[in-house]
């Protein structure tokens, strides 16, 4: 089924509270995800949306949830929000229509002059995700094509001065700028009161020039390097994607001044129970605290069990910082589907990135009553994109078809095969427009999307 960019924009608002306003960007980042894609990838360029178009889409936004602008997690190419000629008018409209709703803006920071920062301060309830990547103008120019890198540094100082909450992000490129440059950038964000810093492993496809490619050992090197920096800086620093070895709910950090900080949480605390209920995953722990108004949390700190009381408004972020693992609801859904069928052998197809955490989740959460059922977890390689791409959302139907051939012995024995729903949109199509039905047609057993 064909669909338009307009339909996708409305869907983004309905499902994720994302408001796409522009596909235009003023910079030219080496790591931009829109470069070096194989032919056939379905993405949409919406240009600058008019103010009237923005108002129409705003009808589908939920005022009880954060409104997100500039976040590139849909099939719409997201540009730089501040590059929109009517951006201030859009923000003023949103504030009048949604006076009590936080607006989150993802920006490269190149427009953060004193005037724009004051506008954000006056609007209130604004939160920024700021893609800094380097605090040295010479490297920001090389990595992002920013001809005036000093401007963003001054802008960040203004954010700190006016106490506008923001989160810094860095795409790690030590093969270009070196490891010391990464620490300098984190140090700059820390000294200017960033609430968190996310450090991304860069992604590249099989079409990316060789000078931008790297050995995947960089992932482990980066994780170890950031672990060391996390012990030296106040700001919580996360690597994305995280290299997770277990399901322990251990805090990467605590946001300064947050309810968790005021309550006495510390970096490294391990949450065991929330209101006497054992937590099983990091995602569950965060969501429980997000939805709670008051909570008594049992934690392990330096080998000792302690209790911490947390008070906040329901729906307000608690201020704990955790890596993302998996929701127990997703694992329980798998369990429910299995128990509703008469099966002996089950196969879970997962991304390379998700393989380990899915295994850990299944082992920890699925009920012992299913111990007689054989569950195999098989990773699907991202052959279409290739390179360092490992995420489920970037798999295509042909990747699954290749895997069915590769794992034919295991799959032929299966009574039930699970396919991750992430690669497929609401119409059941992957990033090149192919339906997941072609996968079902190749399998001689029941298939479930999860």
| Confidence (pLDDT) at 369 | 67
Q: Which two tokens stand for residue 69?
A: 């602008």
Domains and their CATH numbers in the chain: 5-240 (3.20.20.70), 249-321 (2.30.42.10), 328-449 (3.40.50)
CA distance 289 to 210: 44
- Split at pLDDT 50, 70, 90, the class of 446 is very high
Q: Measuring CA to CA, which residue among 389, 2, 396, 395 is closest to residue 201?
A: 389
Residue written as tokens 């869907």?
11
Q: Does 387 have pLDDT greater than 80?
A: yes
Q: What does the pLDDT look like over 309-340, one tens digit per residue?
A: 999 998 899 999 999 999 888 888 999 999 99
CA distance 136 to 118: 24
Phi then psi dihedrals of residue 96, to 5 deg:
-70, -40
Lowest mean pLDDT among 3-17, 214-228, 339-353: 3-17
Omega prior to 241 cis, within 30 of 0: yes
Calculate the CA 263 to chain-centre distance: 27
Q: Residue 128: beta bridge partners?
A: 105, 166
pLDDT mean across residues, the chain: 95
Residue written as tokens 């989740």?
361
- Split at pLDDT 50, 70, 90, the class of 1 is low
Q: What does the pLDDT look like over 185-218, one tens digit per residue?
A: 999 999 999 999 999 999 999 999 998 999 999 9
CA distance 183 to 172: 10
What DSSP designation does 281 have?
Answer: S
Q: What is the pTM of this model?
A: 0.94
CA distance 436 to 425: 10
């Amino acid at each position: 089924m064909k669909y338009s960019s307009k339909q996708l924009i409305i869907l983004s608002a309905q499902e994720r509270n994302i408001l796409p306003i522009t596909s235009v960007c003023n910079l030219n980042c080496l790591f931009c995800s829109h470069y070096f894609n194989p032919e056939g990838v379905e993405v949409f360029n919406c240009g600058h949306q008019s103010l009237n178009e923005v108002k129409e889409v705003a009808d589908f936004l939920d005022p009880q949830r954060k409104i997100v602008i500039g976040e590139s997690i849909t099939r719409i190419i997201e540009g730089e929000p501040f590059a929109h000629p009517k951006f201030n008018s859009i923000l003023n409209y949103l504030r009048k229509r949604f006076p009590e709703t936080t607006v989150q803006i993802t920006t490269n920071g190149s427009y953060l002059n004193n005037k724009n920062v004051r506008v954000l301060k006056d609007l209130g309830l604004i939160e920024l995700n700021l893609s800094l990547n380097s605090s040295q103008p010479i490297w920001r120019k090389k990595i992002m094509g920013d001809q005036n890198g000093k401007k963003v540094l001054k802008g960040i100082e203004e954010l700190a001065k006016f106490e506008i909450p923001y989160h810094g992000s860095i795409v790690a490129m030590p093969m270009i700028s070196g490891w010391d440059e990464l620490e300098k950038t984190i140090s700059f964000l820390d000294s200017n009161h960033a609430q968190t810093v996310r450090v991304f492993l860069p992604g590249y496809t099989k079409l990316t020039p060789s000078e931008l490619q790297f050995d995947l050992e960089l992932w482990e090197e980066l994780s170890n390097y950031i672990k060391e920096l996390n012990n030296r800086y106040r700001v919580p620093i996360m690597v994305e994607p995280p290299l997770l070895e277990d399901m322990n709910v251990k805090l990467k950090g605590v946001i300064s001044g947050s309810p968790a900080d005021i309550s006495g949480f510390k970096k490294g605390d391990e949450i065991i129970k929330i209101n006497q209920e054992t937590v099983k995953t990091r995602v569950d722990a965060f969501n429980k605290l997000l939805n709670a108004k008051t909570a008594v949390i049992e934690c392990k700190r330096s080998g000792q069990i302690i209790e911490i009381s947390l008070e906040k408004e329901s729906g307000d972020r608690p201020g704990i910082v955790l890596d993302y693992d998996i929701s127990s609801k997703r694992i329980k859904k798998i369990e429910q589907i299995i128990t509703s069928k008469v099966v002996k052998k089950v196969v879970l197809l997962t991304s390379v990135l998700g393989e380990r955490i899915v295994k850990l989740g299944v082992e920890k959460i699925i009920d012992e009553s299913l111990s007689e059922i054989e569950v195999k977890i098989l990773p699907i390689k991202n052959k279409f994109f290739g390179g360092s791409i490992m995420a489920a959302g970037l798999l295509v139907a042909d990747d699954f078809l290749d895997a069915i051939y590769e794992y034919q012995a295991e799959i032929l024995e299966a009574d039930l095969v699970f396919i991750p729903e992430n690669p497929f949109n609401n119409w059941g199509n992957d990033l090149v427009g192919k339906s997941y039905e072609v996968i079902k047609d190749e399998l001689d057993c029941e298939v479930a999307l999860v």
